[in-house]
Amino acid sequence: MPAEFGATPWGRSWTRTVESTVTSAPNPLLPKARSIARNHHATLSTTVGAVTAKVVVSGTESTVLIELPPWSEATRQDAERLIAKSLAANPGLATGDLPDSLESELTSAGITFAVPLAEQVATCDCKTRKRPCVHILATLYALSMRVDERPRLAVELRMNSAAAAEVADPDWIPLAELDAATFYG
Ligand SMILES: [Zn+2]
């Protein structure tokens, strides 16, 4: 059976950030979060450094915002060099794809693209006290699916907006073009 989440090393890295919440006991929210993501009840918007989602559970919509710290300038330059080298060595990839081998090259160079839960600034407007709530977890699972479909997103999320503009492709939405009123409304 193919992996439902984390079919690529890129998505898998994000799935691991969610499953790292499993410490001493299984987190009962995870099966529910997976189900929400699987059934497309978490609608994502991604920009450089942030993922937002509308998550609908039993007819109630919650808004999640997850902020991801950008790579340092030095890390970004190292990453761009590795990405360029890898793309040159693997011609003919589909738009938005990245070679699986690049994931291990980045990891070997100490460059992480998935952000551990502890380093994310995640907010949700639901009333539950528990954090991360099921909406945040569902957003992360949905993100891992999105990254599986389009691995380049994994690195774009961590670049500053100027760098991301250089690698822009047609389905990339620059931060400035998002309408904040409808985006967060
Ligand atoms: Zn929530």
Q: Is residue 136 part of a domain?
A: yes
Nearest Cα residue to 63 out of 86, 76, 45:
45
Ligand 1 center to 123 CA (angstroms) = 8
Rounded-to-integer distance, Cα 46 and Cα 64, Å: 12
Q: Please give the average per-residue pLDDT across 113-124, as a whole number.
A: 90
Q: Is residue 59 part of a domain?
A: yes
Confidence of residue 165 (pLDDT cuts 50, 70, 90): low
Ligand 1 center to 49 CA (angstroms) = 20
Which pLDDT score is estimated for 78? 95
Is residue 121 pLDDT above 70, yes or no? yes
Ligand 1 center to 146 CA (angstroms) = 20
Ligand 1 center to 42 CA (angstroms) = 11
Rounded-to-integer distance, Cα 44 and Cα 50, Å: 10
Please report the sign of the dihedral spanned by the C-alpha atoms of residue 72, residue 99, residue 16, residue 60. Answer: positive
Which pLDDT score is estimated for 23? 62
**3-class state of residue 96 by DSSP:** coil
Q: Is residue 172 part of a domain?
A: no
Q: Please give the average per-residue pLDDT across 2-25, as a whole number.
A: 82
Ligand 1 center to 24 CA (angstroms) = 22
Confidence of residue 162 (pLDDT cuts 50, 70, 90): low
Q: Is residue 180 part of a domain?
A: no
Q: Is residue 185 part of a domain?
A: no
Least confident of 1-10, 72-81, 108-117: 1-10
Which pLDDT score is estimated for 87? 93
Which pLDDT score is estimated for 1? 41
Ligand 1 center to 137 CA (angstroms) = 9
Is residue 185 pLDDT above 50, yes or no? no
Q: Is residue 28 part of a domain?
A: yes
Ligand 1 center to 138 CA (angstroms) = 9
Bigger pLDDT: 30 vs 169: 30
Is residue 152 pLDDT above 80, yes or no? yes
Ligand 1 center to 51 CA (angstroms) = 14
Range of the domain at 97: 9-159
Q: Is residue 173 part of a domain?
A: no
Ligand 1 center to 125 CA (angstroms) = 6
Which pLDDT score is estimated for 130? 86
Which pLDDT score is estimated for 28? 87
Q: How high is the mean pLDDT of the chain? A: 86
Q: Is residue 4 part of a domain?
A: no
Ligand 1 center to 122 CA (angstroms) = 10
Into how many domains does the chain fold? 1
Which pLDDT score is estimated for 15? 92
Ligand 1 center to 70 CA (angstroms) = 24
| Contact assessment for residue 11 and residue 5, using Cβ atoms and an 8 Å cutoff | yes
Q: Please give the average per-residue pLDDT across 87-102, as a whole number.
A: 93
Ligand 1 center to 148 CA (angstroms) = 24
Q: Please give the average per-residue pLDDT across 76-84, as a whole number.
A: 94
